């Protein structure tokens, strides 16, 4: 089953509701423009950098998908804008992606069987989105 645009919106709202209590407020505003632009960009995770990135960043939203999925690309753009527009609430959230076509073993270990699978990592603890 492929997610629709309304599902993408529901996913975004669900993630914000579920994890808003866990989002750490940004400590200061100095240099926040540069760091915020880095946080709102999607970074690719591989089996080589997965463990270090998960340990390094306290809050990560991880999407496991295929790079040619239109629904995934649309959702990624919406989340990127959301993080960029709310630096106070989402300043520490890192956006990361694993592409199943090139990182099949990592995707299998994560348990990503659907076209789009979302995980939230809070201090290296994983929370899988169990929506539709």
| pLDDT of res. 91 | 75
| pLDDT of res. 4 | 54
Average pLDDT over residues 30-34: 45
Among the listed ranges 17-26, 43-52, 74-83, 92-101, which one has the minimum average pLDDT value? 17-26
Domain ranges of the chain: 5-128
The whole-chain average pLDDT of the chain stands at: 77
pLDDT above 80: residue 34: no
| pLDDT of res. 40 | 72
Among the listed ranges 32-36, 46-50, 64-68, 93-97, which one has the minimum average pLDDT value? 32-36
Q: Which CATH class is domain 5-128?
A: alpha beta
What value, to the nearest 5°, has the Cα angle with vertex 55 and ends 54 and 61? 30
CB-CB contact of 60 with 94 (8 Å): yes
């Amino acid at each position: 089953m492929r997610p629709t645009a309304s599902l993408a919106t529901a996913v975004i709202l669900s993630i914000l509701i579920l994890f808003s209590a866990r989002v750490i407020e940004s400590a200061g505003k100095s240099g926040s423009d540069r760091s915020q632009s880095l946080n709102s960009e999607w970074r690719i995770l591989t089996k080589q950098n997965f463990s270090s990135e998960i340990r390094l960043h306290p809050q990560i939203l991880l999407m496991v998908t295929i790079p040619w999925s239109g629904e995934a690309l649309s959702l990624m753009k919406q989340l990127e804008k959301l993080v960029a527009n709310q630096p106070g609430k989402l300043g520490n959230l890192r956006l990361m992606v694993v592409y199943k076509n090139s990182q099949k073993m990592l995707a299998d270990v994560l348990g990503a069987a659907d076209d789009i699978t979302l995980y939230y990592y809070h201090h290296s603890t994983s929370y899988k989105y169990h929506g539709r």
